[in-house]
């Protein structure tokens, strides 16, 4: 066969028309993709499967329950109907869990500092963002790993701020230049919210650190009431130490977030074969049970407080016990978890795209892509860890972040799907081309109309021919990303926080990012 | 959050047990994946969408029809009920098409020379293989392109012969060292069937070339009757020049294949926005109409002759008119086409994984992977072009072929899905671990049972930590592939065709591959 049509006429007229068509900027609603595309066409689980997992999770909560709840949580949850056993485990009767799900907050907006980045992550809508917490930055060209810093965290925020297909920024790297936990927690939040106006996710190791950050967030919002109207930072909270134990400090942070009007990502990060069962179905049961327990906790502290159902079940390479973020089993677990949160009509958050590769190579590309294609098309509402993460979350690559933006755009295009309408399947164009026209569709009205609305183009991906690529000196993808990255880092310094607010923050709190690091030099 | 559990106990006992478990070779039926996994959990089209496309295709066949049918085809198809217009177009009444679909061959085996490679590509079963026709071999390390040769074609066959997740071998590259078409056609078949015992696909530009190849295939099979019992080569046939014109020479070859007992892949390779409509839905309509016309042709020549429904709709980058094999629109078209052939209960063949990148980099990995993840999970029966192809089918990389074998294994694991059974969701293991056991699942009986049955491991993909990778000198994926490739090429010389048969073939036909190129030097 000849795979490439050999004789496509290349008439100047059609070319000119295409050139004119693509020079016109499209309004947002006509772009090929937009934030919050509707997924759900991939269903790894049947409806019966989801129900089985749900019932097994209720059984686990009722008969195994949780160890290690803090006294404040025990008091609140027992009041709602939980039962404390003699051995100190908290059991959750079915009715308590079912009532909690029925009455929990749903369909709440996750705000950006800029309202144009507000997200509505419910139903089948899909948003992609970063997460963490890598401890290294990766040199994409050499593969060298070095410790990550506050400056890196801020730089990643600035880059995410410019990328069309990254919809939120959860802190990606740990500020290893700040060994004091209270400084690290505060500066993590500061660097993120200074670097982007998109919704931010962060985490805190102690409740008093969160209280300090909330004070800063009130200042940025223009007062506590304004913050509570549009909270633009959510808390990523590992309230559970899988299997089935509460994490004391995280639970205390959870209580502060709930009372402070901050949405909470209830993050159950078990690892199948290590801290969760090796059976993928049983791992989903445990994840579901754990997130439901977190939901009970949140609603016991404050009914209808906004919480995301964070079923982040990781995968072990069972030969070594180490995490394998890029595995196909990971894609299945994350995609299935989207169906489970959808069953509860809760905002679901999960992880996807966590390659095991150390550099942005073909392994990285493929592992991210089969995960994103399936998790995105399953309709996960909030897809964390989706860009830049290397080595199963151990490192972060800025070049990969740019490359992954292309990938997410492409995956969003697949989520959008194919519109089959009377207009889109009309035979008029085919009839004209075959019976009257030039015998091809290159310059047809339909082609010109659809070339920007229905087709997405990569910003870094190269579609030139081998000859054209050769003539340009065989530029590598990483080099192309690196060039683009330098342009962003040297020019994009967000200024949405007014200088007097920033000065007031610096006067009151231990900001460690120098002002000169936050403007063009 | 702490993504990686910090304190997984690493007890010698659990490690030892895992080591013992994985040293046992699994029987085929217990392996994590096998050829012909059942897809179908991803449905880009609704049932109503499929019906709309079907009806529009019937309209197109009835009212637009095909130009340029050879007289032999006109005679055969008019006899069945097709109508020739004054302008020479052949129109296909609905009833003719519907009767053809109802009576066409379905559920036929595609044979390998070795029966263990027989494929049963129907229902939702999914097989992956190569295709062509690249005109260059790619140096994966430098990005240099050079013309492909007969030796390359044979070498690729040998490598495919060793790869677990490549289920058939369609000729991947053009023998550009053989400028005479008859020599090229014959030697293409010879190199493929000599290099692998898996099912082979090939193509021919003239009917007499195919007749010559058939004589050789009879000799290899042990006689024409044996060949007809188990035809192990199928013809990839571009019977249509989209839009809606028959290709004269290809149709003549099709007639010879059908009469010679060779299964035919009815390959409609339109390109959306160029030779097919830019509207993805309309492109599917045209593809469907074209393959249905091919099916009428085949069945008019010989009722129930085996034919595959080859809806290979390619995609144009509408900015340039060039093909974009790696695009997300391609993933949608190929995945949707799987649903259409499933609707007809015909064996569907489509293309996936045709990256636009020139080298096996992150772009290559991601483009192949989101295509494979979606096309595979859609349940396409025969997925062509799935490995090794570069630059939108312009080049072939052997290193990529090895890397893509890993990818396909991983995608097959996602196709297998998650078994939710009473056993797999049992709380026994969780209860024991949480209430009585060590608080983790590393050494549990379930983990040991499932580590080889439920989890797949890459052969080239690296899952080591940054430190471990650093200690090994940061080996690149392409270098790892290259090392493995050298091992295969220097040792794997298939000997399934007995020497006396090969000598008889060489005595009778213009074999251009020297015998010394076909054994270890």
- Look up tokens 């040199």; give the residue: A139
d(CA A480, CA A457): 16
Taking CB atoms and an 8 Å limit, are A331 and B377 in contact across chains?
no
B299 Cβ contact list (under 8 Å, min separation 6) = B80, B100, B103, B104, B305, B307
Same domain, B198 and B306: yes
Residue B219 tokens, joined: 């000799």
Residue A298 tokens, joined: 């949140």
Q: What is the rounded average pLDDT of the residues A435-464?
A: 93
DSSP letters, B404-443, are: HHHHHHHHHHHHH-----TTTT-SHHHHIIIIIS-SS-TT
Pair type for strands A395-396 and B233-237: unpaired
* Strand (E) or helix (H) holding A127: strand A125-128
Which residues of chain B lie closer than 8 angstroms to A356, CB-CB?
461-463
For residue A33, what is the nearest residue in chain B, using CA coordinates?
B328
- Look up tokens 């926005």; give the residue: B273
Helical ranges in A260-327 per DSSP H = 280-301
User: CA–CA distance from B22 to each of A63, B71, B410 (Å)?
Assistant: 34, 62, 18
Q: Predicted confidence band at A5 (pLDDT cuts at 50, 70, 90)?
A: very low
CATH label of the domain that carries residue A234: 3.20.20.480
Beta-carbon-side half-sphere exposure of residue B444 (alpha carbons within 13 Å): 25
Neighbours of B286 (CB within 10 A): 33
Same domain, A383 and A437: no
**Whether pTM exceeds 0.80:** yes
- Look up tokens 């050499």; give the residue: A142
Q: Tell me whether residue B166 is in a domain.
A: yes
Which residues of chain A lie closer than 8 angstroms to B435, CB-CB?
64
User: Residue A396 belongs to what domain range?
Assistant: 102-416
Contact (Cβ atoms closer than 8 angstroms) between residue A481 and residue A388: no
Which residues of chain B lie closer than 8 angstroms to A315, CB-CB?
455
Q: How many domains does chain B have?
A: 2
CA B66 from chain centre, in angstroms, equals 28
Residue A442 tokens, joined: 């290159």
Q: Tell me whether residue A156 is in a domain.
A: yes
Helix (H, G, I), strand (E, B), or coil: what is residue B6?
coil
- In this prediction, residue B9 carries a pLDDT of 43
* pLDDT tens per residue across all 521 residues of chain B: 334 333 444 445 666 666 666 556 677 878 999 999 999 999 999 999 999 999 999 999 999 999 999 999 999 999 999 999 999 999 999 999 999 999 999 999 999 999 999 999 999 999 999 999 999 999 999 999 999 999 999 999 999 999 999 999 999 999 999 999 999 999 999 999 999 999 999 999 999 999 999 999 999 999 999 999 999 999 999 999 999 999 999 999 999 999 999 999 999 999 999 999 999 999 999 999 999 999 999 999 999 999 999 999 999 999 999 999 999 999 999 999 999 999 999 999 999 999 999 999 999 999 999 999 999 999 999 999 999 999 999 999 999 999 999 999 999 999 999 999 999 999 999 999 999 988 999 988 889 889 999 999 999 999 999 999 999 999 999 999 999 999 999 999 999 999 999 999 999 999 999 999 999 87
Candidates B129, B30, B46; CA nearest to B384 is B129
d(CA B124, CA B42): 11
Helix (H, G, I), strand (E, B), or coil: what is residue A486?
helix
d(CA A320, CA A313): 18
Same domain, A384 and A442: no
Question: Torsions phi, psi of B483, nearest 5?
Answer: -65, -45
d(CA A129, CA A351): 10
Q: What is the rounded average pLDDT of the residues A16-23?
A: 62
Res. A1: pLDDT tops 50: no
Q: Tell me whether residue B90 is in a domain.
A: no
DSSP letters, B70-130, are: -HHHHHHHHHHT-EE-TTSPEE--HHHHHHHHHHS--SPPBPPSSGGG-B---TTEEEEB-
Same domain, B321 and B348: yes
Same domain, A118 and A158: yes
Q: Tell me whether residue A423 is in a domain.
A: no
Candidates A23, A148, A370, A484: best to mutate against B (most CBs of B within 10 A) is: A370
Same domain, A458 and A335: no
d(CA A283, CA A116): 37
Least confident of A13-27, A255-269, B123-137: A13-27
- In this prediction, residue B23 carries a pLDDT of 59
Candidates A363, A400, A446, A454: best to mutate against B (most CBs of B within 10 A) is: A363
- Look up tokens 């709930």; give the residue: A258
Contact (Cβ atoms closer than 8 angstroms) between residue A350 and residue A385: no
- In this prediction, residue B13 carries a pLDDT of 62
Same domain, B440 and B341: no
Res. A214: pLDDT tops 90: yes
Q: Predicted confidence band at A443 (pLDDT cuts at 50, 70, 90)?
A: confident
Q: Tell me whether residue A66 is in a domain.
A: no
DSSP letters, B470-518, are: HHTT---HHHHHHHHHHHHHHH-----S-HHHHHHHHHHS---S-GGGG
Taking CB atoms and an 8 Å limit, are B463 and A322 in contact across chains?
yes
Sheet holding B37-38, edge to edge: B37-38, B125-128, B382-384, B349-351
Question: Torsions phi, psi of A14, nearest 5?
Answer: -65, -40
Among left, alpha and beta (phi > 0; psi -120 to 50; other), residue A136 is beta
- In this prediction, residue B27 carries a pLDDT of 79
Same domain, B252 and B200: yes
Same domain, B333 and B206: yes
Q: What is the rounded average pLDDT of the residues A177-187?
A: 97
For residue A337, what is the nearest residue in chain B, using CA coordinates?
B418
How distant is the Cα of A411 from the closest Cα of chain B, in angstroms?
7
Taking CB atoms and an 8 Å limit, are A410 and B366 in contact across chains?
yes
Which residues of chain B lie closer than 8 angstroms to A285, CB-CB?
425, 427, 430
Facing residue for A319 by CB, picked from B18, B367, B400? B18
Q: Bigger pLDDT: A18 or A224?
A: A224
Burial of A237 (0-12, 13-18, 19+ CB in 10 A): buried
Sheet holding A389-390, edge to edge: A145-147, A136-138, A395-396, A389-390
d(CA A5, CA B369): 25
Percent of chain A whose pLDDT exceeds 90: 92
Helix (H, G, I), strand (E, B), or coil: what is residue A493?
coil
Which residues of chain A lie closer than 8 angstroms to B414, CB-CB?
44, 328, 331-332, 370, 374
Taking CB atoms and an 8 Å limit, are A370 and B367 in contact across chains?
no
Residue A222 tokens, joined: 């223009």
Which residues of chain A lie closer than 8 angstroms to B15, CB-CB?
321
Local structure of residue A433 (DSSP, 8 states) = I
d(CA A516, CA A151): 11
Q: Tell me whether residue B136 is in a domain.
A: yes
Same domain, B358 and B444: no
- In this prediction, residue A22 carries a pLDDT of 59
How distant is the Cα of A499 from the closest Cα of chain B, in angstroms?
31
- In this prediction, residue B521 carries a pLDDT of 72
Pair type for strands B37-38 and B307-311: unpaired
Same domain, B137 and B219: yes
Taking CB atoms and an 8 Å limit, are A4 and B373 in contact across chains?
no
Same domain, B409 and B282: yes
Which residues of chain A lie closer than 8 angstroms to B41, CB-CB?
42-44
Taking CB atoms and an 8 Å limit, are B418 and A44 in contact across chains?
yes
Taking CB atoms and an 8 Å limit, are B377 and A372 in contact across chains?
no
Q: Tell me whether residue B95 is in a domain.
A: no
For residue A351, what is the nearest residue in chain B, using CA coordinates?
B3
Which residues of chain A lie closer than 8 angstroms to B470, CB-CB?
143, 145
- In this prediction, residue B6 carries a pLDDT of 39
Taking CB atoms and an 8 Å limit, are B440 and A243 in contact across chains?
yes
A114-124: b or e for each residue (b if 16 or more CB lie within 10 Å)? eeebbbebbbb
For residue A396, what is the nearest residue in chain B, using CA coordinates?
B466
Q: Tell me whether residue A73 is in a domain.
A: no
SS (H, E, C) B138-162: ECCCCCCEEECCHHHHHHHHHHHHH
- In this prediction, residue A367 carries a pLDDT of 98
How distant is the Cα of A212 from the closest Cα of chain B, in angstroms?
19
* ipTM associated with this complex: 0.95
Residue A151 tokens, joined: 């400056």
Contact (Cβ atoms closer than 8 angstroms) between residue A324 and residue A367: no
Taking CB atoms and an 8 Å limit, are B358 and A456 in contact across chains?
no
């Amino acid at each position: 066969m000849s795979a490439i049509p050999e004789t496509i006429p290349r008439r100047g007229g059609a070319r000119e028309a295409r050139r004119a068509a693509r020079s016109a900027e499209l309004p947002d609603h006509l772009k090929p993709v937009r934030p919050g595309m509707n997924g759900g066409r991939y269903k790894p689980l049947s409806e019966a499967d989801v129900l089985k997992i749900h019932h097994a999770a209720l059984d686990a909560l009722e008969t195994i329950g949780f160890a290690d709840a803090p006294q404040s949580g025990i008091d609140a949850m027992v009041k709602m109907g939980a039962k404390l056993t003699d051995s100190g485990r908290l059991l959750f009767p079915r009715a308590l869990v079912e009532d909690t799900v029925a009455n929990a907050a749903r369909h709440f907006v996750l705000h950006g500092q800029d309202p144009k980045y507000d997200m509505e992550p419910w139903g089948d809508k899909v948003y992609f963002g970063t997460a963490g917490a890598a401890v290294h930055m990766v040199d994409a060209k050499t593969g060298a790993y070095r410790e990550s810093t506050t400056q890196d965290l801020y730089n990643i925020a600035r880059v995410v701020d410019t990328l069309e297909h990254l919809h939120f920024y959860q802190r990606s790297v740990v500020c290893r230049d700040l060994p004091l936990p209270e400084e690290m927690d505060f500066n993590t939040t500061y660097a993120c919210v200074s670097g982007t106006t998109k919704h931010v996710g962060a985490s805190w190791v102690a409740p008093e650190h969160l209280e300090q950050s909330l004070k800063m967030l009130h200042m940025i919002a223009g007062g506590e009431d304004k913050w509570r109207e549009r909270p633009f930072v959510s808390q990523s909270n590992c309230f559970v130490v899988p299997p089935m134990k509460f994490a004391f400090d995280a639970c205390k942070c959870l209580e502060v977030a709930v009372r402070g009007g901050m949405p909470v990502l209830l993050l159950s990060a078990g690892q199948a074969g290590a801290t969760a069962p090796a059976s993928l179905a049983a791992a989903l049961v445990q994840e579901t049970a754990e997130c439901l327990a977190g939901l009970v906790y949140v609603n016991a502290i404050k009914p209808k407080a906004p919480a995301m159902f964070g079923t982040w079940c990781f995968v072990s390479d069972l030969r070594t016990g180490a995490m394998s973020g890029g595995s196909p089993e990971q894609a299945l677990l994350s995609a299935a978890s989207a169906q489970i949160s959808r069953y509860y009509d809760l905002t679901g958050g999960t992880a996807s795209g966590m390659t095991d590769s150390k550099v942005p190579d073909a392994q990285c590309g493929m592992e991210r892509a089969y995960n994103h294609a399936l998790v995105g098309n399953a309709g996960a509402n909030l897809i964390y860890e989706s860009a830049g993460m290397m080595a199963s979350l151990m490192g972060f690559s800025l070049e990969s972040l740019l490359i992954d933006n292309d990938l997410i755009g492409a995956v969003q295009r697949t989520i959008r799907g194919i519109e089959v309408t009377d207009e889109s399947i009309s035979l008029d164009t085919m009839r004209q081309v075959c019976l009257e026209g030039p015998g091809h569709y290159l310059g047809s009205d339909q082609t010109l109309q659809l070339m920007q609305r229905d087709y997405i183009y990569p910003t870094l991906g190269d579609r030139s021919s081998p000859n054209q690529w050769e003539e340009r000196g065989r530029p590598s993808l990483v080099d192309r990303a690196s060039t683009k990255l330098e342009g962003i880092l040297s020019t994009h310094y967000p200024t949405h926080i007014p200088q007097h607010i920033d000065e007031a923050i610096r006067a009151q709190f231990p900001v460690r990012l120098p002002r000169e690091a936050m403007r063009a030099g």
